[in-house]
Amino acid sequence: MPELPEVETVRRGIAPHIQGRAVAGVIVRQPLLRWPVPAAIDAILTGQVIRAVSRRGKYLVLETGIGALLVHLGMSGSLRLVDPGLPPAKHDHVDFLFTGAMTLRFNDPRRFGSVLWTAESVHEHALLRRLGPEPLLDGFDGRLLHGLARNRATPVKSFIMDSKVVVGVGNIYANEALFLAGIRPARAAGAIALKTYERLAGSIRTVLQDAIGQGGTTLRDYVNERGKPGYFQQQLRVYGRAGLPCRACGATLRGLRISNRATAFCPVCQR
């Protein structure tokens, strides 16, 4: 499931191959993704040079001189660099061709991902405009979390998964960060002390950075630009481990659902 570390891994993988190159064409086989792929994407993008490959939250941003391509991997999406001419496989919905270089191929079985174009400033795009801070940059800390949590009864796990609060934290890393910080996922966000939020902010940063270092987490679909899985799943402390012993204290991890999302925590280590 692509969360921030997986998207960042893909960004780092594809950037050296497409940065500075001109798009030779775009092939859309299935335009019905989360939102329709713009019908004019081929006409717009062909001839444009990819100036930079950046990331905002879980969106990949391919910047050109006249606008930017936004790619979201949804839950099951992947972007791979393949040899031009490699026949498309099932769910290979969009190809970005480059002259004399690898083809960037978007595959997404569940089609929750998106491929969008914006001619305006990326940060003013409707989907990005209201996003919260990047957790790995300055501007994200315990004080910010504590301030936004005021008077909110929502579980702290849902709170940190809210992209208006902080971007990039999905279900897997929310579970992991709360374990690292020793906080029970169901606690009301507004009832948590500043000091505890400072610890949580640090844990979010730590778990995301560690996961990037391992190339992300692969449970089923996720692969990087070369089709290789990540390895962070070997270090998961609680996600997917309800009923198994806590790696820290041996107690049996508990499972529950919060906002319809699988949640696991240690009743001893997390309070």
> Interface with DNA by CB under 7 A: which residues?
1-3, 32, 34, 57-59, 72, 74-76, 90-91, 109-112, 127, 151-155, 158, 161, 163, 170-172, 220, 239-240, 257, 259-262
Q: Which residues, other chains included, contact 212 with Cβ-Cβ below 8 Å and sequence gap of 6+? A: 4, 5, 8, 9
205 three-state secondary structure: helix
138 vs 61: CA distance, rounded Å? 20
Choose between 87 and 257: whose C-beta lies nearer to DNA: 257
Choose between 196 and 217: whose C-beta lies nearer to DNA: 217
Is 58 tagged catalytic?
Answer: yes
Q: What tokens were used for 86?
A: 């490699």
Q: Which residue stretches of 97-160 are H helix?
A: 142-149, 156-160
39 vs 262: CA distance, rounded Å? 37
- In the chain, the N- to C-terminal Cα span, in Å, equals 27
CB 32, min distance to DNA, A:
6
Is 2 tagged catalytic?
Answer: yes
Choose between 21 and 91: whose C-beta lies nearer to DNA: 91
CB 69, min distance to DNA, A:
16
Single out the catalytic residue among 56, 58, 80, 157. Answer: 58
Is 3 tagged catalytic?
Answer: yes
Is 80 tagged catalytic?
Answer: no
- H/E segment holding residue 178: helix 171-181
CB 52, min distance to DNA, A:
20
Please list the active-site residues.
Answer: 2-3, 58, 261
